[in-house]
Amino acid sequence: MKQLKMAWLFTATLMVSVFSFAQTADEVIDKHLAAIGGKEKLLTLSSVVMEGTLTVQGMEIPVKLTQVHNKGQRVDISAMGMNGYIIQTATEGWTYMPFQGQTKAEATPAEVVKETSDAQIDAQSILLNYKDKGHAVEFLGKEDVEGTECFKLKVTMKNGLVQTLFFDPSTYFNIKTITKSKASGQEVEQTQTYSNFKKVDEGFTFPFAMTGFGPGELVITKVEVNKPVDESLFKPSN
Amino acid sequence: MRKIVFLLSCIVSLQVFSQSKITSATFGMMEARHLGPGTMSGRISAIEGVNSEEGKTLYVGTAGGGVWKTTNAGASFRSIFDKYCQSIGAIAIDQKNPKVVYVGTGESNMRNSVSIGDGLYKSTDAGDNWTKIGLDSTEHIAKIAIDPKNSNTIYVAAPGPLWGDSKHRGLYKSTDAGKTWEKVLYISEKAGCADVALDPSNPDIVYATTWEFRRLPYLFNSGGAGSGIYKSTDAGKTWKELKNGLPPKPFGRVALALAPSAPNNLLAIVESQNTGLYISADGGENWKQQSATLNVISRPFYFSTLVVDPKDAKRVYRPAFTFSYSTDGGYSFTDASNEGGWVHSDHHALWINPNNTNHMYLGTDGGVYLSLDKGGTWIFLLNLPVGQFYHVAADTKEPYNVYGGLQDNGSWVAPSSAPGGVRVGDWKAVYGGDGFWVVPDPSDPNIAYAESQGGDVNRIDLRTIKSMSIKPEQKEGEDKLRWNWNTPIAVGAKNTKNLYVGAQYLYKSTDQGRNWTRISPDLSTNDKKKQEQENSGGLSADNTSAENHCTIFAISESPLDENIIWAGTDDGNLQYTTDGGKTWTNVSKNIAVAGVPAQTWVSSIEPSRFDKNVVYASFDNHMYGDHKTYVGKSSDMGKTWTVFKSDEFSGFAHKVKEDLKNKDLLFIGTEMGLFATVDGGESWFRMKNNVPWYALVRDIQIHPVTNDLIIGTHGRGILVVDDISPMRNLTKDIVDKDVFLFPNKLMVLTTGRFGDGGFPSTGGWVAGNAPSIEPIQYYLKERVNSGDVKIEITDANGKVVQSIPATKRKGVNKISWNQRITPPKVAVSGTKIDQGGFIAPQVLPGEYTLKLKVGNNEYTQKLQVVHDDKSAFTLADRNVQYDAAMKLFRMHEQLAKVVADINDKQKMLKDNMEKVKNAKVKKQLQEYNDKLETLRGELVPTKQKSIFADETRLREDITQVYARICFTEAAPNNLQLDRIKFLQDKVNKADTDNTVLAKQYEEKIKSALVKEGVMEKPKVENKTGGAPVP
């Protein structure tokens, strides 16, 4: 009997994989949002704070990512007692990298802030209620990502930023994102990959490893959600 | 019950299915490096730009390298067509919505070596994604015209197949943006459409030229009754042939242009008995002849570009053999200057920025040029690696060099790796003309053999690039020698002193071509009907040796026996000798039995290195209109043949290559892809490892020392896949494992093979290098989505030397360990970072343990790290270096602890300062803090404000010596060793000073703080252990 049940499961899986050819953008998005916590739950996400490390030549560099939904994003990097940061809000952005000799926070061009903030300060997922946000999504079939045939979606955001997202069909997690920006008269493409997905206590699933955020892999060691964040963090301190 | 059986069989079949199939993905990170060159690029067939003031977004279509896009006016390009056919005929941008781009595949510069296309593609997002929208069988597309007033209306001029009759030619029209197509102008199965132009003021007026043409392997014809110039005034419904004032028919190819600023003005270069430039001022109703300069009339079948300035109807450009322009509407012409450097001859594309007509881009047989002065002078863009190699070879120098000949671009050599990467300046030209075979002499490192078209074979001294002609001469009583356009040159695989070249006879030399012996009769069919090249060309004679026929095309000596030599011809013969050429056996009939059509070119022969009787051969029948992939294997000296079959195959075959170590590992290169098998040819897969999926793969070599796969492409230059040994070792049972750690090779200690000279490249194509350090390789059956992947190296005592985050992709992963320990914790300063924290001593030779951690599983292996005995850096010196480096390493950590201790104390003092009320105590805290600050100021920078006002303290002093010692492959010098001693003294002194200060203040302060009630119990002990008691 048990074997029969197993067989049914297999058949069901087969059926699913047959039907999966008829995927549409919204189906992929729905499954993705369900996989990372579910629409309802995502709507309750107000802040995410991730801590992790980058490893450069064996030296560990602590990195902290703070995102407050619709308010701002901040990345803190510290090395040898020095702290740098990148801040972005809906209207302003700063970079302070003392490691490279900067002595003051340097402003991000307004054009760049405008183009990128749709993605940067949306903590809940750009795909959640994307139509209401003014984004357009196109389903581009399947494409190989390092050996995994992924669903491919292209998101053109309200302010022009274009992201191509790749979803592992076995989990519906977003394992790769290509971001194309055009602000400041230069076309720039960046690629990020995500892995080691884990569900945190609050029920959200996050990638605990990412590439494209600096040299090598950013390994996340701690994630806190919906923790109150002092918004002065989104102002440059020097 | 039956149901259960059915379901069970489902399970079984699912299990079979779940077994890992070997595909390109299996080899994961084994990705190709694109060596270039950018120095010498390849044929450019189309250039289109987005009409804007800046004119900085352009699409460049190439003869065999796909489509490249720039968004910065050519400062950099990106390849955007890697998954599709690489031969590009035409590009069009919908200027009303420039995100819509059409690419017609199949170049239509109909030379002998032209490739073929597989239809029309469309992108609606500026080249990010492409969809094929039809015209699959046209094979060649010459032009795409979009109605400027209605973007849904598109015309496509398709000359159609070159090597045979076809209905798939003519002028195609779509009125629904490419969804459906209708043929609106069709002449015959022999004549297609070569050009189309729309009147921008009234796009219902359409001009088109038709062209009758045909190639045979041994003859070309341009011209016939089907060629003509046509006009439609009803958007292609009805057509009228234009004749008034034009030369008598028959025509050949016609290049047509209209002046955008005065569209009734037409120009046409009409190939005919009286080839020349003709103009019309009344929309083609009446014509009169203008210029017939050499550049206007040269090779009309090949040079079909004619452009009128978008604003000035009198300014006419003729990019052809040279670049010439007219300011009087085509009556007289001036050639461009070479003031900005030589402009490559043979031009096929020109884009003029309509908003700034001084600004233009020219596509030549050697790449793209930019002009800012209306074509007067040109600047070459060095960043398009689309060279068209015919063959590739390598030597065994360290690093090895690659050699190859380029279509219209001579013969070249370049290192496979070089300081700072392989840059444009690393490529060296060794011979001119069209390049084909360039073969280094394995017995003489100073010599290579190279040639130009038609068997002009030379011995090149690589030190001076002086060449000596060594082409064999006709002897009395022999037929005139027939040399293929791409004449084979081969050195012996068994006896490397043997040098072979082939006309219709095979020649052998054992003294580097100084003297030759003819070792065969005529090995071709010697069919006289195929030897009338002097009649080639059609209306314009064209006999450049490209049509030479009944010649030897492939030569291979058996790697096991120098008396076994195989030779294949361009007219279907495959012959061998087992006695060094005394007798020959023709096996062409046996190949035909296996299904390879007669007359098929033998494109390559690969006698096995494992068994004398085994031979592989590839066959190319495209010149008879047959594009099938024919590659065969015989295990009985050619008596019987098996032709490999695979659904993966595409394109006619150029090369079959057997691996040097694993007899079941084979590669095939075709006009449309690179294919591999690991099971002796049972199943094949397309290699996509950063190899364009449909690359024109002309030649494949495997390096005997580095095990690199070296790929000669006709459009993407030379590609190298470093170290393919995982392909040899991935047996079926390994592939089914979840994780497999490949056996390690000895790891030789090195600080890297090269320095980098200190400056990045200032432009041009730069290829990355092969890794200097042997990477750690492992296989993952599936991408790891949960859990970490990590590599840990431990020493003989089990101490972790370094822990490295590792990649998680499906297939083969490669991780590089820098052979160093984890860097020291260096003192923090707060105002400056110190590079000492990123530098670590190199480990000593010995046995280490390599641990691969995948989630909760561990895979362990011994790792032998050895000293390089060939290096001038001795093991004794290495030990002294290590010892010195470790002293400095420990010094850093000692200093870091002292500074951390000071920082802790200062923090404690500051925290309490505000809480304390007693002024005396306050003062005491301040005093201690100040003294600590003075001490800290000696140890690390505390004031630096700018990188341009450097502050160096003890930490920096240590790092200076530390960095120099760690990065130098030598023993430290005497002064460095002295300096280590006194730096150690300084660190010890800092330690002592800190302890002395602690003794002086700590007790007092603690009891005062307790008294003040701000501290309950002492906290200021040496909790970090920073200051050992002296």
Which of chain A's residues have a Cβ under 8 Å away from the Cβ of B783?
146-148, 168, 175, 195
Structural element, H or E, at residue B468? strand B466-469
Among the partner-chain residues B783, B803, B946, the one whose CB lies closest to the CB of A103 is B946
φ/ψ of A85, rounded to 5, equals -155, 160
Q: What is the mean pLDDT of residues B225-240?
A: 98
Q: Could A58 and B834 be called an inter-chain contact, meaning their C-beta atoms sit closer than 8 Å? A: no
- C-beta atoms surrounding B17 within 10 Å: 9
Reading the block at residue B457, the tokens are 């074979």
**Chain B residue nearest residue A54, CA to CA:** B805
| Residue B312: C-alpha distances to residues A135, B259, B315, B741 (Å) | 44, 8, 6, 67
| Residue B292: C-alpha distances to residues B223, B297, B387, B540 (Å) | 18, 6, 32, 14
Which of chain A's residues have a Cβ under 8 Å away from the Cβ of B130?
none
Distance from CA of B70 to the nearest CA of A (A): 9
Residue found under tokens 């067989």: A7
Residues of chain A with pLDDT under 50: 1-22
- Taking the C-alpha atoms of residue B703 and residue B753, their distance in angstroms, rounded to an integer, is 18
Strands B666-670 and B673-677: antiparallel
DSSP B765: -
**Which residues touch B515 (CB under 8 Å, ≥6 apart)?**
B509
Q: Could B10 and A10 be called an inter-chain contact, meaning their C-beta atoms sit closer than 8 Å? A: yes
- Taking the C-alpha atoms of residue A77 and residue A71, their distance in angstroms, rounded to an integer, is 20
Distance from CA of B821 to the nearest CA of A (A): 8
- C-beta atoms surrounding B407 within 10 Å: 25
Q: Could B832 and A82 be called an inter-chain contact, meaning their C-beta atoms sit closer than 8 Å? A: yes
- Taking the C-alpha atoms of residue A153 and residue A164, their distance in angstroms, rounded to an integer, is 6
pLDDT of residue A23: 66
Interface A-B: count of C-beta contacts within 8 A: 126
Q: What is the dihedral of CA A103, A104, A106, A107, to 10 degrees?
A: 180
The three-class DSSP label of residue A236 is coil
Residue B614 and residue B635 in contact, taking contact as beta carbons nearer than 8 Å: yes
Q: Could B14 and A82 be called an inter-chain contact, meaning their C-beta atoms sit closer than 8 Å? A: no
Residue found under tokens 């991935």: B730
Q: Could B783 and A186 be called an inter-chain contact, meaning their C-beta atoms sit closer than 8 Å? A: no
B residues 578-637 near A, CB within 8 Å?
none
Range list of H helices, B706-823: 725-729, 732-735
Residue B394 and residue B704 in contact, taking contact as beta carbons nearer than 8 Å: no
Q: Among B523, B472, B415, B506, which Cα is nearest to B767's?
A: B415
Which of chain B's residues have a Cβ under 8 Å away from the Cβ of A186?
71-72
B residues 114-143 near A, CB within 8 Å?
125, 128-129
Q: Could A80 and B11 be called an inter-chain contact, meaning their C-beta atoms sit closer than 8 Å? A: no
Residue B724 has pLDDT above 70, yes or no: yes
Per-residue H/E/C for B619-644: EECHHHCCCCCEEEEECCCCCCCEEC
Reading the block at residue B662, the tokens are 């694993």
- Taking the C-alpha atoms of residue B595 and residue B658, their distance in angstroms, rounded to an integer, is 22
**Chain A residue nearest residue B816, CA to CA:** A57
Q: Could A80 and B804 be called an inter-chain contact, meaning their C-beta atoms sit closer than 8 Å? A: no
Tell me which amino acid residue B916 is. Answer: V
Structural element, H or E, at residue A41? helix A39-43
**Which residues touch B648 (CB under 8 Å, ≥6 apart)?**
B675, B684, B685, B686
B residues 26-55 near A, CB within 8 Å?
26, 28
| Residue A120: C-alpha distances to residues A73, A182, A236, B471 (Å) | 6, 15, 17, 67
DSSP B388: B
Q: Among B121, B107, B8, which Cα is nearest to B64's?
A: B107
- Taking the C-alpha atoms of residue B170 and residue B704, their distance in angstroms, rounded to an integer, is 50
Q: What is the mean pLDDT of residues B290-310?
A: 94
Residue found under tokens 């850093």: B892
Residue among B12, B50, B785, B956 with most chain A CBs within 10 A, to mutate: B785
Residue B853 and residue B792 in contact, taking contact as beta carbons nearer than 8 Å: yes
Query: DSSP of A50-108, one letter per residue?
Result: EEEEEEETTEEEEEEEEEETTTEEEEEEEETTEEEEEEEESS-EEEE-GGGT--S-EEP
Out of B286-295, B438-447, B684-693, pick the least confident. Answer: B286-295
- pLDDT bin (cut points 50, 70, 90) of residue B19 is low
B residues 669-728 near A, CB within 8 Å?
688
Residue B969 has pLDDT above 80, yes or no: yes
Q: Degrees (nearest 5) of the Cα angle B267, B268, B274?
A: 130
Q: Could B7 and A10 be called an inter-chain contact, meaning their C-beta atoms sit closer than 8 Å? A: yes
Residue A221 and residue A53 in contact, taking contact as beta carbons nearer than 8 Å: yes
Which of chain B's residues have a Cβ under 8 Å away from the Cβ of A175?
783, 785
pLDDT above 90 coverage of chain B, percent: 90
Which of chain B's residues have a Cβ under 8 Å away from the Cβ of A14?
10, 14
> Which one has a higher pLDDT value, B382 or A216?
B382
Q: Is B946 on the interface with A (CB under 8 A)?
A: yes
Among the partner-chain residues A81, A82, A103, the one whose CB lies closest to the CB of B945 is A103
**Residue B37: is the preceding peptide bond cis (ω within 30°)?**
yes
Residue B405 and residue B435 in contact, taking contact as beta carbons nearer than 8 Å: yes
Which of chain A's residues have a Cβ under 8 Å away from the Cβ of B832?
82
Q: Among A223, A218, A224, which Cα is nearest to A192's?
A: A218
Which of chain A's residues have a Cβ under 8 Å away from the Cβ of B786?
195-198
- Taking the C-alpha atoms of residue A81 and residue B85, their distance in angstroms, rounded to an integer, is 54
- Taking the C-alpha atoms of residue B569 and residue B553, their distance in angstroms, rounded to an integer, is 5
Residue B593 has pLDDT above 60, yes or no: yes
Residue found under tokens 């040299």: A215
Q: Is A59 on the interface with B (CB under 8 A)?
A: yes
Out of A11-20, A148-157, B477-486, B574-583, pick the least confident. Answer: A11-20
A residues 152-211 near B, CB within 8 Å?
154, 162, 164, 168, 171, 173, 175, 180, 186-187, 195-198, 208-209
Out of B126-140, B168-182, B544-558, B1004-1018, pick the least confident. Answer: B1004-1018
Among the partner-chain residues A4, A164, A175, the one whose CB lies closest to the CB of B4 is A4
Among the partner-chain residues A148, A197, A219, the one whose CB lies closest to the CB of B786 is A197
Q: Could B840 and A195 be called an inter-chain contact, meaning their C-beta atoms sit closer than 8 Å? A: no
Residue found under tokens 């038609």: B454
Q: Could B830 and A140 be called an inter-chain contact, meaning their C-beta atoms sit closer than 8 Å? A: no
A residues 127-146 near B, CB within 8 Å?
140, 144, 146
- Taking the C-alpha atoms of residue B333 and residue B322, their distance in angstroms, rounded to an integer, is 11
Q: Is B805 on the interface with A (CB under 8 A)?
A: yes
A residues 2-21 near B, CB within 8 Å?
3-4, 6-8, 10-11, 14
pLDDT above 70 coverage of chain B, percent: 97
pLDDT of residue B615: 98
Q: Among B259, B308, B309, B316, which Cα is nearest to B284's?
A: B259
Q: Among B490, B627, B512, which Cα is nearest to B567's?
A: B490
Q: Could A196 and B25 be called an inter-chain contact, meaning their C-beta atoms sit closer than 8 Å? A: no
- Taking the C-alpha atoms of residue B775 and residue B814, their distance in angstroms, rounded to an integer, is 6
Looking at B285-371, which runs of residues are DSSP E strands? 288-289, 307-308, 316-319, 323-326, 334-335, 347-352, 360-364, 367-371
Instruction: State ipTM.
Output: 0.88
Query: DSSP of B830-846, one letter per residue?
Result: SS---GGGG--PBPPSE
Residue found under tokens 């800290």: B936
pLDDT in tens, B62-100: 999 999 999 999 999 999 999 999 999 999 999 999 999
Tell me which amino acid residue B577 is. Answer: T
- Taking the C-alpha atoms of residue A55 and residue B791, their distance in angstroms, rounded to an integer, is 13
Q: Among A193, A214, A59, which Cα is nearest to B808's?
A: A193
Burial of B943 (0-12, 13-18, 19+ CB in 10 A): exposed
Residue B560 and residue B612 in contact, taking contact as beta carbons nearer than 8 Å: yes
Distance from CA of B881 to the nearest CA of A (A): 20
Q: Could A219 and B805 be called an inter-chain contact, meaning their C-beta atoms sit closer than 8 Å? A: yes
- pLDDT bin (cut points 50, 70, 90) of residue B1018 is low
Strands B537-538 and B219-222: parallel
Residue among B688, B786, B812, B819 with most chain A CBs within 10 A, to mutate: B786
> What's the mean pLDDT when you consider all of chain B?
94
Among the partner-chain residues A4, A6, A209, the one whose CB lies closest to the CB of B788 is A209
- C-beta atoms surrounding B643 within 10 Å: 16
Say if pTM beats, i.e. exceeds, 0.90: yes
- Taking the C-alpha atoms of residue B565 and residue B561, their distance in angstroms, rounded to an integer, is 8
Q: Is A118 on the interface with B (CB under 8 A)?
A: no
**CA end-to-end span of chain B, whole Å?**
87
Reading the block at residue B420, the tokens are 């700072």
Which of chain A's residues have a Cβ under 8 Å away from the Cβ of B831?
82, 98
- C-beta atoms surrounding A2 within 10 Å: 6
Q: What is the mean pLDDT of residues B644-662?
A: 98
pLDDT in tens, B159-215: 999 999 999 999 999 999 999 999 999 999 999 999 999 999 999 999 999 999 999
Q: Among B797, B801, B809, B798, which Cα is nearest to B854's?
A: B809
The three-class DSSP label of residue B314 is coil
Q: Among B857, B740, B854, B843, which Cα is nearest to B801's?
A: B843
Q: Is B289 left (phi over 0), alpha (psi -120 to 50) or beta?
A: beta
B residues 513-552 near A, CB within 8 Å?
none
- Taking the C-alpha atoms of residue B550 and residue B528, their distance in angstroms, rounded to an integer, is 9
pLDDT of residue B54: 87
Residue B502 has pLDDT above 70, yes or no: yes
Among the partner-chain residues A8, A196, A217, the one whose CB lies closest to the CB of B786 is A196
**Chain A residue nearest residue B21, CA to CA:** A147
Q: Could B809 and A103 be called an inter-chain contact, meaning their C-beta atoms sit closer than 8 Å? A: no
Residue among A138, A194, A195 with most chain B CBs within 10 A, to mutate: A195
Q: What is the mean pLDDT of residues B472-478?
A: 96
**Residue B250: is the preceding peptide bond cis (ω within 30°)?**
yes
Tell me which amino acid residue B533 is. Answer: Q
Q: Could B785 and A10 be called an inter-chain contact, meaning their C-beta atoms sit closer than 8 Å? A: no
pLDDT of residue B10: 35
pLDDT in tens, B320-342: 999 999 999 999 999 999 898 99
φ/ψ of B1011, rounded to 5, equals -65, -40
